[in-house]
């Protein structure tokens, strides 16, 4: 696999490989919301649901949201700022996925009902400059292009990892050759 140092992963999904141990990233699917070779990358895990008790630990103010937003899935977004809530939504013209972290902005979006909310997350993922590129080069992540909307349409977040592997053509992790896996 040949990952270019200037490759931009924004808008792509990362699928964790077996080399990632038993931590928060084990069997994770991450949507990359921002990426630059100068400032690093930001993303959110899209396949790990939060339980009701865990939701209480976030700063989401559900009472300020319209009733139809109260059933939006809430996921563990990543290990950074776990107590903070973020909204993954379609832009007002439905052209792109956007991550919003300001509670004031989220309440405004909820009032105006101009966006399609997809998922609330507690926390996010953060990579330093060139850290993500190194991790992809060392086969820690499989990179999927243009798969985020499809994966988010899988209703059960727990099924998104298996679906991401399927999209990458992996049907059996035990027999897959991960050398050079990087981009699917």
Phi, psi at 97, each rounded to 5°: -85, 140
Q: Indicate whether 104 belongs to any domain.
A: yes
Per the model's pLDDT, the better-predicted residue between 27 and 107 turns out to be 27
Q: Indicate whether 60 belongs to any domain.
A: yes
Report the DSSP pairing between strands 116-127 and 40-45: antiparallel
Confidence at residue 60, expressed as pLDDT on a 0 to 100 scale: 64
Mean pLDDT of 96-123: 85
Per the model's pLDDT, the better-predicted residue between 172 and 2 turns out to be 172
Q: Indicate whether 83 belongs to any domain.
A: yes
Q: Indicate whether 81 belongs to any domain.
A: yes
Quick check: 41 and 9 in contact, CB under 8 A? yes
Tell me which range, 24-38, 53-67, 69-83, is most confidently predicted by mean pLDDT. Answer: 24-38
Confidence at residue 164, expressed as pLDDT on a 0 to 100 scale: 95
Q: Indicate whether 1 belongs to any domain.
A: no
Q: Which of 52-61, 107-116, 152-161 has the lowest mean pLDDT?
A: 52-61
- % of residues, the chain, pLDDT over 70: 82
Location of structure tokens 């399609």: 116
First to last CA, the chain: 10
Cα distances from 54 to residues 17, 61, 85, 157, in angstroms, run: 26, 14, 12, 16
Q: CATH code at 125?
A: 3.40.1740.10
Phi, psi at 109, each rounded to 5°: -60, -40
The domain in which residue 97 lies consists of 13-175
Number of domains in the chain: 1
Question: 3-state secondary structure string, the chain?
Answer: CCCCCCCCCCCCEEEECCCCCCCCCCCCEEEEEEEECCCEEEEEECCCECCHHHHCCCCCCHHHCCHHHCCCCEEECCCEEEEEEEEEEECCCCCCEEEECCHHHHHHHHHHCCCEEEEEEEEEEEECCCHHHHHHHCCCEEEECCCHHHHHHCCCHHHHHHHHHHHCCCCCHHHCCCCCCCEC
Q: Indicate whether 114 belongs to any domain.
A: yes
Q: Indicate whether 4 belongs to any domain.
A: no
Q: What is the pLDDT of residues 74-105, one digit of tens each?
A: 889 999 998 888 889 988 787 889 999 888 88
Mean pLDDT of 23-37: 94
Instruction: Determine the length of the chain.
Output: 184
Confidence at residue 1, expressed as pLDDT on a 0 to 100 scale: 43
């Amino acid at each position: 696999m040949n990952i270019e140092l200037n490759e931009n992963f924004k808008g792509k999904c990362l699928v964790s490989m077996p080399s990632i141990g038993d931590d928060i990233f084990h069997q994770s699917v991450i949507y990359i919301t921002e990426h630059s070779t100068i400032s690093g990358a930001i993303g959110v895990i899209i396949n790990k649901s939060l339980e009701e008790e865990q939701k209480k630990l976030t700063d989401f103010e559900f009472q300020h949201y319209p009733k139809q937003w109260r059933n939006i899935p809430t996921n563990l977004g990543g290990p950074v700022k776990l107590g903070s809530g973020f909204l993954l939504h379609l832009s007002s013209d439905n052209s792109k996925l956007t991550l919003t972290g300001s509670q004031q902005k989220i309440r405004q979006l909820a009032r105006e009902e101009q966006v399609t909310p997809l998922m609330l997350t507690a926390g996010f993922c953060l990579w330093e400059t060139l850290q993500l590129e190194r991790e992809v080069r060392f086969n820690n992540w499989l990179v999927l292009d243009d798969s985020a909307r499809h994966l988010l349409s899988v209703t059960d977040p727990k099924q998104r990892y298996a679906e991401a592997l399927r999209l990458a053509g992996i049907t059996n992790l035990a027999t897959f050759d991960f050398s050079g896996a990087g981009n699917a």
